[in-house]
């Protein structure tokens, strides 16, 4: 049985390259986000007009250091540990925290 050759659109090659790069270098080429932070990440990507972003949907929370976890959960957790008196922690779904 002979396989047919699939013709790809030029944009598909770009997409496949982005996915391959993200798989080879997940820490540098992808953005892990959980369902609680995906909206905030999308808004940030829109504001910054980022292109070529590979978003990986992961479980919420901070994982062990070697496991892929939501970077906004990690950022919120790190921020919560060093809050100054009178400041408000970031709420889920926001970047930068609630002004109170």
Bridge partners of 32, per DSSP, are 56
Asked if 76 and 89 count as a contact pair (C-beta separation under 8 A), the reply is: yes
pLDDT at res. 66: 64
Give the list of residues 6+ apart from residue 75 with CB closer than 8 angstroms, or none.
Answer: 90
- Which percentage of the chain shows pLDDT scores above 90? 21
pLDDT at res. 35: 93
Instruction: Decide if pLDDT at 51 tops 80.
Output: yes
Average pLDDT value for the chain: 76
Q: List the domain boundaries for the chain.
A: 25-81
Closest C-alpha among 33, 26, 27 to residue 69: 33
Instruction: Decide if pLDDT at 13 tops 70.
Output: yes
Comparing 11-15, 56-60, 68-72, 96-100, which segment has the lowest mean pLDDT? 96-100
């Amino acid at each position: 049985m002979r396989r047919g050759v699939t013709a790809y659109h030029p944009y598909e090659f770009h997409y496949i390259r982005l996915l391959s790069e993200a798989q080879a270098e997940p820490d540098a080429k992808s953005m892990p986000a959980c369902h609680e932070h995906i909206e905030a990440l999308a808004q940030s990507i829109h504001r910054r007009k980022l292109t070529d972003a590979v978003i990986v949907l992961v479980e919420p929370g901070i994982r062990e250091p070697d496991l892929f976890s939501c970077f906004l959960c990690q950022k919120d957790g790190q921020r919560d540990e060093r809050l100054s008196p009178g400041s408000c922690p970031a709420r889920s779904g926001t970047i930068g925290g609630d002004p109170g």
